[in-house]
Amino acid sequence: MKKQKQDQNRVSPAGEDLKKTRGTRISPLNFATAFFLFLAVYVSIYGVRVIGGHYPYALKSWMFTAIFVLFAIAVSFMDLILRNFFRQTKKLWIVELSFITLAIILFLLAR
């Protein structure tokens, strides 16, 4: 009875072995978070310029840096939420790629 209880504790709800799922998993939203953090550092170092217009007070690099950092925080939080719902890496990749595709389509439609 005690051995069976220990075996149940080692299996995740998705049916995978917990030793395999404890490692760090790479996902598409990890890449998106890294991209937003890279943009934040790049904008803070080199600033923002607009082609075809002069906006002396509207474009502050610290504002864009803060926006990219907030995007990175939101995307990493979304990644944590989706990791809790989808334990299998394959399903996680499918859902996160679908989320990124939907966000790009909505951005292009709003443009």
Give mean pLDDT, residues 41-65. 75
Give mean pLDDT, residues 36-60. 77
On the 0-12 / 13-18 / 19+ scale of CB atoms within 10 A, 28 is buried
CB-CB neighbours of 75 under 10 Å: 24
Its pTM stands at: 0.71
Give the pair of three-digit tokens for residue 31.
């890449």
| The pLDDT value given to residue 43 | 87
Compute the chain's Rg from CA coordinates. 20
